Amino acid sequence: MELLLGSQSPRRKEILSFFSLPFTTAKPPFDEEEHPFLGDPSAYVNLLSKGKAESLRVNFPDSLILTADTTVYCEGKIYNKPTSQEEGFDFLRALSGKWQSVFTGLTLGHKETWFHLVEETRVLFNPLSDAQIRAYQEAIHWPDKAAGYMIQGSGSLIVNRIEGCYYNVMGMPIQALSRLLLEFGIDLWNYLKSSS
């Protein structure tokens, strides 16, 4: 049974590659814009993750399909991938100095058996000046990231504190993924990679 990662995210591919578990990738033919946010961030990412998985079932009927969706939630509003640099600027300004929650919905399934999990991580931003936000946008690749920011590398400079799974903020919570894979008899402990 082949593991199919239904995502084009370089971060999700990178995190899954921490382990020697073989997998392939495919882009889900799923339009996220058709599903508006209705107030519950957990239900929202769960719905989108499920939708991505469902859209892959027809073309990959024999694969073990893994999909994910991540959003940032703060004060009743969600922050997905910014559609422009100005929108990304507005996102970071709105989140400056505030606690926010990063939600990732995971779906894993094969044929008629499906499991779903949602992971939440809380992140506190440092207060950011407009000049710092501009410098941040110049330094990192922001367009494909929820709320237009990253927690890894120099992107971490905006983060004051984190409560929960670090890898969830990158888009693939490892502990939640491990629990889902165990439902299909796949133990990530058997796929550890040696590091030098």
SS3 state of residue 136? helix
Tell me whether residue 31 is one of the annotated catalytic residues: no
CB 11 within 8 A of CB 172: yes
Is 95 within 8 Å of 148 (Cβ atoms)? no
The 8 Å CB, 24+ separation contacts for 114-120 are 114/50, 114/53, 115/180, 115/183, 116/46, 116/49, 116/50, 117/176, 117/179, 117/180, 118/42, 118/45, 118/46, 119/164, 119/165, 119/168, 119/173, 119/175, 119/176, 120/42, 120/164, 120/168
Give the pairing of strands 23-25 and 3-5: parallel
Options 69, 90, 130, 144, the catalytic residue: 69
Q: Could you give the residue numbers annotated as active site? A: 69
